Amino acid sequence: MIDFHRHPDQYSHWVLSVDDVIATLTLSVDPQAAAIGEYELKLNSYDIGVDIELADAIRRIRFEYPNTKCVVIDSALDGIFCAGANIQMLAGADHGHKINFCKFTNETRLEIEEASLYSGIRFLAAVRGACTGGGYELALACDHIILIDDKNTAVSLPEVPLLGVLPGTGGLTRLTDKRHLRRDIADVFATKAEGTRGQEALKSKLVDELASPTGFDMAVRDRALKLSGSTARIGGSPAVLPELSIQVTDNRIQYRYVSANFKSQHVDIEISAAENSDWLLTTALELDDLLCRLRFNHTHLGTLLIRTSGSAESVLNHDEALSNPTTHEELETALLWKRTLSRMDLTARTLIAAIEPGSCFVGILFELALAADRSYMLSGIFEDDEDPLPAATMQLSAVNLGVFPMANGISRLASRFWGDSNGLRNAVDTRDTPLVASNAIERGLVTYAPDDLDWEEELRIAIEERSSFSPDALTAMEANHRFAGPETMATKIFARLSAWQNWIFTRPNASGPEGALRLYGTGSRPAYNTDRT
């Protein structure tokens, strides 16, 4: 089982230091601290454990160091920045882990870019030593890349020529869409195993700046200060990330506000509302942690049934801090919800929302229903209850109207009504109005509204039907449906990951007995089937 909760005191691979407005994240991978096997993490190569620490460090900088304006990412290993994803790990991992690993690293790189765009934290890659594959993809996620001009150090994406796969963390897309390389130059670079050095790398826009070996440290310091001066971060009091209370058994994961019960064919997830001042931050952290655990540790359960409970008013009372954050903690909490909801969108699971008496699918929690592939809302009450709760209602608020855009750059509500301006307008007109099932159906805000007699049966049929379909086809179908509308760099990265890398990792040319991943480092060349498919 992979645990996703970290603290800097527990880091094995990264060192975080903070000096005034500049933080430094130094990669110092422990070769013997592999996360899932018995491979050695040579040359600052990484596995999921290294990236979990990086994700935690970025999040902590955002919350706990409000005055930090630039993060320098460098290496403690002489002559090596980062060798990318560990090849022995990839060769030995099962297919699901490979894909989920790539997805997690993509999400972490996107969080770096979001921290720059929304939190005002600039990122500087200080590349002193070989920077290959996923190491260069980490640098590409930064705002600025300084490369040591020592005639030896190169940046490279060697996956195609050496491994028979693609760069798994958005490298190809960032070359063209972020750094604006011409496609022919990108083609040359991505098929050049030895990489590109010095002036050629600068001329090709693969890096932003060169520095001599003797002047490298000073150049990094000067550039970090300039990047810090280019941002007006809100600042304020540090917001310490809470330690999560997690109880894990064979059939249940219990947090403070979030719980997951494992059934034979699905997972029942419940988010409980509370007035507590820590509810927004803690719930986002808990839900994010749960989604990661489900991805990696419970791959056989393909459907998530999402429920909420508690006072709708208590949820709506938190809305102002999300839609109009005025403090450092409020801003970062809102951005954390954005990332957590995005992680849900990108989770290869069927999402079904169950809106019933006692639910509080309002405001931020209605985003969960909008993220769902289907939503069921009980029409009326549970007649057989001795003291039945009032009929369920749902309610849109300001946070549903664009505060939390999806990877496609638009809200989940706009994605739902893509191409239907009247439908979107009719839905938006209900803002701040509690809707019962018949109203929600009329406005297109839920999928089905069964009554008491059919409620359990309809949910059972939906779950069993989903279990009877190919999970591969479902993953592809859901990814197609969820991201209607505009294309962005993020949607390109994840769509190409899902379609191409998912496929390539199953092909004998990469993962077969004579495939490139399995033979890498053995001295033997892979045997490729040269048919194009």
Q: Which one is predicted more confidently, 483 or 502?
A: 483
Report d(CA 189, CA 196) in Å as an integer: 7
Rounded to an integer, the average pLDDT of 477-501 is: 89
What one-letter code names the amino acid at 182? R
Contacts 24+ apart (CB under 8 A), 493-497: 493/106, 493/110, 493/170, 493/173, 494/103, 494/106, 494/346, 494/407, 496/166, 496/172, 496/173, 497/99, 497/102, 497/103, 497/106, 497/168, 497/170
- Bridge-based pairing of strands 22-27 and 80-82 is unpaired
* pLDDT computed for residue 40 by the predictor: 97
Which tens digit of pLDDT belongs to each residue from 31-42?
Answer: 999 999 999 999
- Residue 353 pLDDT more than 80? yes
- Residue 497 pLDDT more than 80? no
Residue 3 lies in a domain: no
Rounded to an integer, the average pLDDT of 336-358 is: 97
Lowest mean pLDDT among 73-87, 367-381, 515-529: 515-529
Which tens digit of pLDDT belongs to each residue from 140-180?
Answer: 999 999 999 999 999 999 999 999 999 999 999 999 999 99
Give the pLDDT band of residue 311 (cuts 50, 70, 90).
very high
Task: For residues 362 and 405, state if they share a domain.
Answer: yes
Which tens digit of pLDDT belongs to each residue from 74-104?
Answer: 999 999 999 999 999 999 999 999 999 999 9
Three-state SS sequence of 177-205:
HCCCCCHHHHHHHHCCCCCEEHHHHHHCC
- Bridge-based pairing of strands 22-27 and 14-19 is antiparallel
DSSP character at residue 243:
P
- Give me the residue label for tokens 């999921």: 48
Burial letters 470-502, b for 16+ CB under 10 A, else e = ebeebbbebbeebbeeeebbbbbbbbbbbeebb
Which tens digit of pLDDT belongs to each residue from 282-310?
Answer: 999 999 999 999 999 999 999 999 999 99
- Give me the residue label for tokens 């997830």: 269
* pLDDT computed for residue 499 by the predictor: 78
Rounded to an integer, the average pLDDT of 218-245 is: 95
In angstroms, how far is CA 443 from the centroid of its own chain?
31
Task: For residues 124 and 254, state if they share a domain.
Answer: no
* pLDDT computed for residue 465 by the predictor: 97
- Residue 498 pLDDT more than 80? no
* Cα 27–Cα 31–Cα 34 angle in degrees, nearest 5: 100
Q: Is 70 helix (H, G, I), strand (E, B) or coil?
A: strand
Query: Phi/psi class of residue 127: alpha, beta or left (left: φ > 0; alpha: ψ in -120 to 50)?
Result: beta
In angstroms, how far is CA 464 from the centroid of its own chain?
28
Which tens digit of pLDDT belongs to each residue from 123-137?
Answer: 999 999 999 999 999
What one-letter code names the amino acid at 71? V
Task: For residues 258 and 194, state if they share a domain.
Answer: no
DSSP character at residue 159:
I
Residue 176 lies in a domain: yes
Residue 497 lies in a domain: no
Which one of 229, 262, 285 terminates a domain? 229
- Give me the residue label for tokens 């592939």: 373
* pLDDT computed for residue 29 by the predictor: 98
Task: For residues 38 and 176, state if they share a domain.
Answer: yes
Give the pLDDT band of residue 235 (cuts 50, 70, 90).
confident
Residue 2 lies in a domain: no
Task: For residues 267 and 178, state if they share a domain.
Answer: no
Residue 489 lies in a domain: no
Report d(CA 498, CA 502) in Å as an integer: 5
- Residue 501 pLDDT more than 90? no
Task: Kindly report the average pLDDT of the chain as a whole number.
Answer: 96
The count of domains in the chain is 2
Task: For residues 255 and 222, state if they share a domain.
Answer: no
Please name the residues in contact with 329: beta carbons below 8 A apart, sequence gap of 6 or more: 63, 236, 237, 239, 281
Task: For residues 315 and 411, state if they share a domain.
Answer: yes
* pLDDT computed for residue 496 by the predictor: 81
Report d(CA 452, CA 458) in Å as an integer: 10
Residue 221 burial (C-beta neighbours within 10 Å; 0-12, 13-18, 19+)? middle
Report d(CA 502, CA 513) in Å as an integer: 18
Task: For residues 397 and 264, state if they share a domain.
Answer: yes
* pLDDT computed for residue 395 by the predictor: 98
Rounded to an integer, the average pLDDT of 39-48 is: 97
Residue ranges in 241-377 assigned as alpha helix (H): 279-297, 312-316, 319-323, 328-345, 366-371
Residue 525 lies in a domain: no
Closest C-alpha among 87, 164, 181 to residue 501: 164
- CATH number of the domain within which 419 lies: 3.90.226.10
Residue 503 lies in a domain: no
Which domain range does residue 197 map to?
A: 8-229
**Model-level pTM?**
0.96
- Helices and strands per DSSP (H, E), number in the chain: 22, 17
Residue 1 lies in a domain: no
Task: For residues 320 and 192, state if they share a domain.
Answer: no
CA distances from 439 to 356, 383, 426, 428, 434 (A): 15, 20, 11, 13, 9
Task: For residues 321 and 176, state if they share a domain.
Answer: no
Task: For residues 151 and 287, state if they share a domain.
Answer: no
Task: For residues 320 and 444, state if they share a domain.
Answer: yes
Which one of 464, 482, 500 terminates a domain? 482
* pLDDT computed for residue 266 by the predictor: 97
**Host H or E run for residue 217:** helix 216-229
